Copies of this chain bind each other. A is one copy, B any other.
Amino acid sequence: MSTTYSMLGGEGPDSYREHSKYQGALVIAAKEKINEVISAKLDIDSSLNLINVADFGCSSGPNTFNAVQIVIDAVEQKHKEKEFQVFFNDSSNNDFNTLFKTLPQGRSYFATGVPGSFFGRVLPRSSLHLGVSSYSLHFISKIPNGIKDRNSPVWNNEIHCSGSSEAVEKLYFDQYKTDVGSFLNARSQELVSGGMLLLLGSCRINGNKFFESVEGMMIDYIGTSLNELAKQGLIDQEKLDAFKLPIYAAQEDDLKQIIEANGCFTIEAFEKITHGKGEYPLDTNYLTLAFKASLGGSIAAQFGQDAMEKTYELVSEKTEEMLPQLAKAKPGIQYLIVLRRN
């Protein structure tokens, strides 16, 4: 766990590339708003010849290519005849080879890959004009102390923070606050004054619990499936106890408050975006594959490829069975947050 969390690489049928259309739809839905805010609020030296753009948590594509192109197109409407350099950042375990081999032909920018955790600095001081980060801020940098320990009062029996225990949730939230703070501090050093940071992702409607959402339910099914495999002796119980997903879905107001408390940025927009694909479709195969692409890699890393495949067979069965439940899931918020570096 910790910052080594990565999407399923490569270009295969189960890869994140193939099953991240849901995530990719948000930036497309947000395009008009992005154009509008960049046009109105981006405040960089117009005599510059070079504009640097970064995607923090780019994965292996192709969503990142859409995201940076949308940003570049928006900037080009305002600043003509510039050169663009794009920094694709993700952890050093990310599949950069696939990213590089699938870069868009005829792109109008110089592409670079930047390996390293986005909770710390990955770019030089005041070198960046626009940053974007899509579906990445729900990752936390480590699992809080006590969560994995069966003898601890905050031992979490689940593989994630469902929101069912207040004490557990508080620990996850504290870690989330620290991590988002670290992310913003690093970006505030990398961005030039007047530069912009676009955050896209999902969060909870204030008061909703994670276990009430489609994501929460799907991760519950994954956890239940892993428990079944452990009971059958097909995976090691100790390994399962140690397996906690480093993700936390914040409430809208909490996220806003963390940004305000950081103090380095002005919030230029905090928009709920109506997603091209709306909520997840109620389709067993779609849901199973989407959560296999995003979480299968870390399950395979912990339990092996075979156990991962078995897990998702069970997940598929459970999803099918639970479709009526999933139909009643509480919606989340898909957001576009635009921050300007003070």
**What chain B residues lie within 8 Å of A97 (beta carbons)?**
95-97
**What chain B residues lie within 8 Å of A122 (beta carbons)?**
110
In the complex, what's the smallest C-beta–C-beta distance from A187 to chain B, in angstroms? 14
Q: Which of A26-34, A36-44, A85-93 contacts its partner?
A: A85-93
Judged by a CB distance under 8 angstroms, whether A50 is at the interface is yes
**What chain B residues lie within 8 Å of A121 (beta carbons)?**
110
Instruction: Give residues 86-126 of A contacting B (CB, 8 Å).
Output: 87, 92-93, 95-97, 100-101, 103, 110-116, 121-126
Distance in angstroms between the alpha carbons of A241 and B112 in the assembled complex: 36
**What chain B residues lie within 8 Å of A325 (beta carbons)?**
none
Judged by a CB distance under 8 angstroms, whether A49 is at the interface is yes
In the complex, what's the smallest C-beta–C-beta distance from A97 to chain B, in angstroms? 5
- Asked if B92 and A110 sit within 8 Å, CB to CB, the answer is no
Judged by a CB distance under 8 angstroms, whether A166 is at the interface is no
Judged by a CB distance under 8 angstroms, whether A127 is at the interface is yes
Judged by a CB distance under 8 angstroms, whether A228 is at the interface is no
Judged by a CB distance under 8 angstroms, whether A83 is at the interface is yes
- Asked if B101 and A124 sit within 8 Å, CB to CB, the answer is no
Distance in angstroms between the alpha carbons of A100 and B113 in the assembled complex: 9
**What chain B residues lie within 8 Å of A50 (beta carbons)?**
124-125, 127
Q: Which residue of B lies closest to A96 (CB)?
A: B96
- Say which size band chain A's interface belongs to: 20 to 34
Q: Which of B49, B116, B127 contacts A85 (CB 8 A)?
A: B127
Given contacts A92-B101, A100-B92, contact A110 B124 (CB under 8 A): yes
- Asked if B124 and A96 sit within 8 Å, CB to CB, the answer is no
Given contacts A97-B97, A112-B113, contact A124 B85 (CB under 8 A): yes
Distance in angstroms between the alpha carbons of A97 and B125 in the assembled complex: 25
Given contacts A96-B96, A97-B95, A97-B97, contact A103 B123 (CB under 8 A): no
Q: Which residue of B lies closest to A51 (CB)?
A: B124
Distance in angstroms between the alpha carbons of A116 and B50 in the assembled complex: 19
Instruction: Give residues 119-150 of A contacting B (CB, 8 Å).
Output: 121-127
Jot down 16 A-B pairs with beta carbons below 8 A, ordered by A. A49-B126, A50-B125, A50-B127, A83-B124, A85-B123, A92-B101, A96-B97, A96-B100, A100-B113, A103-B115, A110-B123, A110-B124, A111-B114, A112-B112, A112-B114, A113-B114
Beyond A83-B124, A111-B116, 15 extra complex contacts between A and B, CB < 8 Å: A49-B124, A50-B124, A83-B125, A85-B127, A87-B112, A95-B97, A96-B113, A97-B97, A100-B113, A103-B115, A110-B122, A110-B123, A111-B115, A112-B114, A113-B115
- Nearest first, the 5 closest Cβ-Cβ pairs linking A and B are A100-B115, A113-B113, A112-B112, A92-B100, A83-B124
